[in-house]
């Protein structure tokens, strides 16, 4: 595990985007695993900057997103499909057909999960997977539990996750209670993992995830088993990581 610390959020965003950019420069057909939420917003801005400056093209890149809310249309402003469009895809030259996000509106979410895994299997593996960290230790929407699942599946969101994500909706009641998420097995299959953690409120959980016991009660702790885990933290989040 390699832990990189940054004095400011902007420096962290530039470094994270720089790693993605370098990968795509050397492998224009790279498969990128992407995340949503507050953490990656600044990283995506830097990727757009790199594209606008002609440093990188996403034309041949394939992307897979970690997760999507169940029962939200792709045009719903809080869907992750909408988020990705607004925050990254609409601003770069990626091809629509190379973008993969679980369809939260599929009539059969279990069949949709299987289909998503089939597409992941088709590409083989993700080259670089971006991950944020939930306050309860979730990655993707793999919530703490007695058992975790390998592949893409439907999940009931933890109360803590619903509360944390309520900030993006008009009220807590509007937050979907279910989601589709890539499983921990699929996440761990990525060639390289980039865990990005920002802010004082994540200091304890990132410490637990990376220095505590490996347990399904803290899904991010499984990342410790990955041979190529890159962790990017700002000073506040990295406070307890010695």
Q: Which positions are annotated as active-site residues?
A: 67, 136, 138, 143
Nearest to ligand F6R of 56, 66 (CB atom):
66
Extended beta strands in the chain, E state: 2-6, 31-34, 62-65, 67-69, 99-100, 128-131, 153-156, 178-181, 192-197, 229-234
Nearest-CB residue for ligand F6R: 132
Residues that bind ligand F6R (CB under 6 A): 35-39, 66-67, 132-134, 138-140
Nearest to ligand F6R of 18, 199 (CB atom):
199
Residues 195, 231: contact at Cβ < 8 Å?
yes
Residue 151: CB minimum distance to ligand F6R, A: 16
Residue 67: CB minimum distance to ligand F6R, A: 5
Classify burial at 90, counting beta carbons within 10 Å of its beta carbon; exposed 0-12, middle 13-18, buried 19 or more.
exposed
User: Residue 127's Cα: distance from chain center in Å?
Assistant: 13
Nearest to ligand F6R of 60, 236 (CB atom):
236
Residue 144: CB minimum distance to ligand F6R, A: 12
- Nearest residue to 223 via CA among 63, 2, 20: 2
């Amino acid at each position: 595990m390699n832990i990189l610390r940054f004095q400011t959020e902007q420096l962290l965003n530039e470094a994270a985007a720089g790693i993605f950019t370098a990968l795509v420069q050397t492998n224009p057909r790279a498969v990128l695993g992407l995340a949503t939420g507050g953490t990656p917003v600044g990283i995506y801005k830097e990727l757009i900057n790199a594209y606008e400056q002609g440093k990188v093209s996403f034309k041949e890149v394939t992307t897979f997103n970690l997760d999507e809310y169940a029962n939200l249309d792709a045009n719903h402003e809080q869907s992750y499909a909408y988020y990705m469009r607004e925050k990254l895809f609409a601003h770069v030259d990626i091809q629509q057909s190379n973008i993969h996000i679980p369809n939260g509106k599929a009539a059969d979410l279990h069949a949709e999960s299987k289909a998503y895994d089939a597409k992941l299997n088709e590409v083989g593996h993700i080259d670089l997977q971006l991950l944020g960290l939930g306050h309860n230790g979730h990655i993707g929407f793999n919530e703490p539990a007695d058992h975790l699942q390998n592949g893409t599946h439907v999940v009931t969101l933890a109360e803590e996750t619903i509360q944390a994500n309520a900030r993006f909706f008009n009220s807590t009641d509007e937050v979907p209670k279910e989601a589709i998420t890539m499983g921990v097995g699929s996440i761990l299959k990525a060639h390289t993992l980039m865990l990005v953690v920002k802010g004082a409120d994540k200091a304890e959980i990132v410490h637990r995830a990376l220095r505590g016991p490996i347990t399904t009660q803290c899904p991010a702790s499984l990342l410790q088993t990955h041979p190529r885990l890159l962790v990017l933290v700002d000073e506040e989040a990295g406070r307890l990581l010695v």
